[in-house]
Amino acid sequence: MQPRINFITLGVDDLDRSLRFYRDGLGFETEGIVGKEFDHGAVVFFDLQPGLRLALWPRASIAHEIGRPVGRPSATEMMLAHNVTSKAEVDDVMRQAEAAGAVILKPANDTFWGGYAGYFLDPDNHVWEAVWNPAWQP
């Protein structure tokens, strides 16, 4: 298997609410909800960068698809990071996320490893890191 990820799928409780957060609040471009004509098929896709998409899919639909019960979400299961080019841009991302309704977990500040980062929760308690890493410029 080649190490490659093409989709990141986040399980959500309210697809319309999550669509509004990412599209209207954070400015992610999308065609909106597709697949409504299928049972458990409604999903939202966002192009992130060439070859990578973010999908929002109801938790109940994921559970149905994989044959497992819906579990309790945990903010410590995974974290998505958005690496930017400056500390000021981290601050901008954090302000935009908060204005969109995100819960700020940790305001942006200098990190122990020489970067600058802040953390927020989306409406379904997925953790996002807005980060400037001087060793890894986007």
Fold of 7-66: 2,3-Dihydroxybiphenyl 1,2-Dioxygenase; domain 1 (3.10.180)
What is the pTM for the complete model shown? 0.89
* Confidence grade of residue 110 (pLDDT, cut at 50, 70, 90): very high
- Measured in degrees and rounded to the nearest 5, phi and psi for residue 134 equal -65, -20
Q: Which residues lie below 8 Å from residue 127, measured CB to CB, with a gap of 6+?
A: 75, 76, 78, 79, 80, 105, 119, 120, 121
| pLDDT value at 1 more than 90 | no
Give residue 75's pLDDT: 80
Choice among 10-14, 16-20, 68-72, 101-105 with the minimum mean pLDDT: 68-72
Residues pairing with 56 in the sheet:
10, 44
pLDDT tens, position by position, 16-57:
999 999 999 999 999 999 999 999 999 999 999 999 999 999
How does DSSP classify residue 70? P
Written as six digits, the tokens of 27 are 């400015």
Q: Which residues lie below 8 Å from residue 79, measured CB to CB, with a gap of 6+?
A: 119, 127, 128, 129
Give residue 51's pLDDT: 92
| Same fold across 7-66 and 79-132 | yes
For the chain, how are helix, strand and coil distributed in percent, rounded to 5?
25, 35, 40
> Sheet holding 7-12: strands in order across?
7-12, 52-58, 43-49, 33-34
Fold of 79-132: 2,3-Dihydroxybiphenyl 1,2-Dioxygenase; domain 1 (3.10.180)
Delimit the domains of the chain by residue range: 7-66, 79-132
Torsion-angle region of 112 (φ positive above 0: left; ψ -120 to 50: alpha; else: beta): alpha
Give residue 126's pLDDT: 95
